[in-house]
């Protein structure tokens, strides 16, 4: 995104785009720029990009996701000359770069890095940054910026990015001096990984990035020594835990659980992100609590676990007398915390909310108790026998409540069996999931990007291990899929990576199949192609009796798009063709899209629109 103005005199190499003197000669700060070896032209120093990359590497970053832009050339130069070099992964749209960085953070629990060039490079990434904010994903976005020396004169892509980014990041600011770039980027990473996690944005003026830094400054960053100007920069490795919460809060929650007869435990994404999955499983098993998984909480109790009753979710929330929600907001996905039978408001269950930071606790609904702090510490304290003196050998809910939910979960699975094996023509979307379940490994990474089609995935795909599920999260932004798939293939090189795309979602990012091809990243893509915006068409018909702007091209050949970009794919129009096509896709070793034509008359039976 280095040009695109279309105006004469602003093309590549022109002084208004990125002034050639500022790139290769004297800087606005009076410092020298860099030579081909990544040092200053006189061989005595390092540039601002060197400091930024060193700071990122000190935080465990190994890949820079980007789309080429002249304002950020020093960051690329630094990545190439770093020891070890930092992988450069260039994409076809800046949103994909940020989505890939976000997915890296969610899969590895290390911070992700996206580098966006100035102006439209940054603004193209805004929806992805917002998604990271809603998901609590530790991502650092480094932006290029027009030169300070020309500020206000109308330089190409001159824009004050932090003003736009502040509402959707933990912090956003500009570094104007080369000597402060390293410490500034280090601070960005420390902010991003501190609970509650989230994105941080820093842009750097042209002078700051291209300017010469003192010799040895990058090495000081990596070693955790005093940086330029005496600023201490720590080689802070990822994932500082939240501070332990109030022990009295744990005791209060333990008492509520002990007094309950129909408790339910909800595990959300922050349990995984906070590395609390083992403690959570141990606590659930110790207390024999029925568990419902949400977001990246899926897989903490693997599919088939006797306490996992996600398929009985509606019955559990309607009849529970205590709902303990850990690591996820009480938002529309959980009925805003309004559990219980809505026809019997006198029998509302008690609600407990547990989060990794005070600002994440719900304030819009009544809570019987709450805890904020390290989630692993919370579960360990909850499972400690000392927190439950006089616990009976068998808990009250083990004889009635838990078996009822287990029966309900088994009944729901049995009731769905016919549709998961449906022979209907057009294809019922559930048949895809019936076939997919038979070919997924326990360590597969499953990614959802779509509306109705991916809602089925959330219901029928139960991961075998934690950390194997990615969806857009509560912001509901389409177009995450290709970026997430890129990151998944890099982060989990030996695992199956499956991207489930609605045909509407495919239109947002399918061009980045080119990125998969260029970088040799085999991914299986399955497109549920019903030719409509299903999440809008059916509700609009229900409200108005008709619909508009809700139709897409019937039987669009998305598989041929991927093939044209250098991958492969095929069209599936019959139910018995799905399984063989999936096997060919997994065996292909290339980016492969299975384009399944599904029945547009089938609407996902959702209980909320999120409004």
The single-letter DSSP state of residue 416 is H
Q: Which of 516, 518, 499 is nearest to 595 (CA)?
A: 499
Average pLDDT rounded to a whole number, residues 260-286 = 97
Q: Is the pLDDT assigned to residue 7 strictly greater than 80?
A: no
| Residue 163: pLDDT band with limits 50, 70, 90 | very high
CA–CA gap between residue 488 and residue 49 (Å, rounded): 27
Segment 300-322 mean pLDDT = 96
What pLDDT shows up at residue 215?
Answer: 75
Task: Of 140, 122, 8, 148, give the one whose Cα is nearest residue 69.
Answer: 122
Domain 421-597 classified CATH 1.10.150.120? no
The region of weakest confidence among 452-466, 492-506, 583-597 is 452-466
Contact at 8 Å (CB) between 463 and 298? Answer: yes
What pLDDT, on a 0 to 100 scale, did the predictor assign at position 132? Answer: 98
For residue 20, name the pLDDT band (cuts at 50, 70, 90): very low
Per residue in 222-250, pLDDT (tens digit) is 776 434 433 333 443 445 667 889 999 99
Whether residue 104 contacts residue 487, with contact meaning beta carbons closer than 8 Å, is answered with yes
Q: Give the torsion sign (CA, 53, 56, 62, 64).
A: negative
Q: State the pLDDT at residue 394.
A: 78
Give alpha helix (H) positions in 82-205. Answer: 94-108, 120-123, 126-135, 161-165, 181-193
Q: What is the pLDDT of residue 439?
A: 95
- Alpha carbon distance 465, 595 (integer Å): 27
Measured distance CA(577)–CA(527) in Å, rounded: 14
Q: Closest by alpha carbon to 29, among 221, 179, 228?
A: 179
136 DSSP 8-state letter: T
247-405 adopts what CATH topology?
Answer: Rossmann fold (3.40.50)
CA 565 – CA 512 distance, rounded (Å)? 9
Long-range contacts of 583-590 (CB under 8 A, 24+ apart): 583/439, 585/524, 585/525, 585/526, 586/439, 586/496, 586/524, 588/522, 589/522, 590/517, 590/522, 590/566
Distance between CA atoms of residues 88 and 147, nearest Å: 24
**Distance between CA atoms of 557 and 503, rounded to whole angstroms?**
10
Structure tokens that stand for 335 in this block: 């009925």
Mean pLDDT of 452-473: 92
Q: Are 111 and 189 in contact (CB under 8 A)?
A: yes
Which tokens sit at 347?
């029998």
Identify the sign of the CA torsion 601, 602, 607, 611: negative
Band of residue 2 on the pLDDT scale cut at 50, 70, 90: very low
Question: Is the pLDDT assigned to residue 104 strictly greater than 70?
Answer: yes
Q: Is the pLDDT of residue 273 over 90?
A: yes
State the average pLDDT over residues 102-128. 98
pLDDT of residue 243: 81
Q: 454-458: which pairs have CB atoms within 8 A and are 24 or more residues apart?
A: 454/500, 454/502, 454/505, 455/604, 455/606, 456/429, 456/430, 456/432, 456/528, 456/604, 457/433, 457/500
Residue 305: its pLDDT value, please? 96
549, 587, 554: which is closest to 568 by C-alpha? 587
Domain ranges of the chain: 20-230, 247-405, 421-597
CA–CA dist 191, 405 (Å, integer):
41
Distance, CA of 543 to CA of 565 (rounded, Å):
41
In angstroms, the CA 511 to CA 95 distance is 12
Q: Which two tokens stand for residue 357?
A: 């930071």
Helix (H) or strand (E) holding 329: none
pLDDT band at 219 (very low <50, low <70, confident <90, very high): confident
What residues are paired with 116 via a beta bridge? 143
Report the pLDDT value the prediction gives residue 236, as an integer from 0 to 100.
39
- Residue pLDDT, tens place only, 397-422: 999 999 999 999 999 999 999 999 99
- What CATH homologous superfamily does 20-230 map to? Thiamin diphosphate (ThDP)-binding fold, Pyr/PP domains (3.40.50.970)
Q: How high is the mean pLDDT of the chain?
A: 89
Among residues 432, 445, 569, 564, the alpha carbon closest in space to that of 502 is found at: 432
Do the first three CATH levels of 20-230 and 247-405 match, i.e. the same topology? yes
Could you tell me the pTM of the whole model?
0.91
């Amino acid at each position: 995104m280095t040009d695109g103005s279309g105006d004469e005199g602003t093309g590549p190499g022109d002084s208004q785009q990125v002034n050639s003197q500022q790139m290769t000669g004297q800087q606005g700060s009076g410092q020298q720029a860099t030579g081909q070896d990544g040092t200053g032209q006189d061989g005595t120093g390092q540039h601002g990009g060197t400091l930024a990359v060193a700071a990122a590497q000190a935080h465990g970053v190994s890949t820079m996701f980007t789309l080429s832009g002249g304002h950020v050339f020093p960051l690329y130069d630094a990545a190439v000359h770093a020891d070890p070099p930092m992988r450069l992964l260039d994409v076809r749209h800046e949103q994909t770069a940020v989505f890939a960085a976000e997915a890296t953070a969610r899969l590895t629990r290390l911070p992700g890095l996206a580098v966006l060039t100035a102006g439209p490079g940054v603004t193209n990434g805004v929806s992805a940054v917002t998604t990271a904010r809603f998901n609590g994903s530790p991502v650092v976005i480094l932006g290029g910026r027009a030169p300070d020396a020309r500020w206000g004169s109308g330089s190409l892509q001159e824009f004050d990015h932090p003003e736009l980014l502040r509402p959707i990041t933990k912090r956003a600011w500009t570094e104007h001096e080369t000597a402060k770039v390293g410490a500034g980027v280090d601070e960005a990473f420390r902010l991003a990984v501190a609970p509650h996690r989230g994105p941080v944005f820093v842009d750097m003026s042209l002078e700051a990035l291209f300017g010469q830094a003192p010799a040895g400054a990058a090495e000081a960053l990596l070693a955790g020594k005093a940086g330029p100007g005496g600023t201490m920069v720590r080689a802070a490795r990822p994932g500082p835990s939240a501070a332990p919460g109030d022990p009295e809060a744990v005791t209060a929650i333990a008492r509520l659980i002990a007094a309950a007869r129909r408790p339910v435990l909800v595990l959300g994404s922050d349990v995984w992100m906070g590395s609390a999955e083992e403690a959570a499983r141990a606590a659930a098993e110790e207390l024999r609590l029925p568990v419902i998984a949400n977001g990246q909480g899926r897989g903490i109790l693997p599919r088939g676990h006797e306490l996992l009753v996600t398929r009985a979710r509606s019955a559990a929330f309607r009849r529970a007398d205590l709902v303990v929600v850990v690591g996820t907001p009480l938002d529309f996905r959980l009925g805003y915390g309004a559990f219980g039978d809505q026809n019997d408001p006198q029998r509302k269950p008690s609600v407990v909310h547990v989060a990794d930071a005070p600002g994440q606790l719900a304030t819009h609904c009544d809570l019987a108790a709450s805890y904020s702090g390290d989630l692993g510490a919370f579960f360990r304290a909850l499972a400690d026998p000392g927190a439950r003196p006089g616990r009976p050998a068998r808990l009250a809910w083990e004889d009635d409540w838990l078996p009822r939910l287990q029966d309900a979960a088994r009944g729901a699975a049995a009731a769905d069996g016919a549709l998961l094996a449906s022979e209907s023509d057009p294809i019922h979307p559930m048949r895809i999931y019936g076939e997919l379940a038979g070919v997924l490994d326990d360590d597969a990474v499953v990614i959802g990007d779509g509306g109705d089609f991916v809602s089925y995935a959330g219901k029928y795909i139960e991961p075998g291990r934690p950390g194997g599920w990615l969806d857009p999260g509560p912001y509901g932004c389409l177009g995450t899929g290709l970026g997430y798939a890129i990151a998944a293939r890099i982060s989990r090189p030996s695992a199956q990576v499956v991207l489930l795309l609605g045909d509407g979602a495919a239109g947002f990012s399918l061009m980045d199949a080119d990125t998969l091809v260029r970088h040799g990243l085999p991914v299986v893509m399955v497109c549920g192609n019903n030719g409509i915006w299903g999440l809008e068409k059916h509700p609009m018909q229900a409200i108005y009796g008709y619909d508009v702007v809700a139709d897409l091209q019937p039987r669009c050949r998305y598989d041929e798009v991927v093939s044209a970009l250098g991958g492969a794919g095929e069209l599936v129009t019959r139910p018995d063709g799905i399984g063989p096509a999936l096997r060919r896709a997994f065996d292909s070793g290339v980016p492969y899209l299975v384009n399944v034509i599904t029945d547009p008359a089938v609407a996902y039976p959702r209980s909320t629109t999120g409004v």
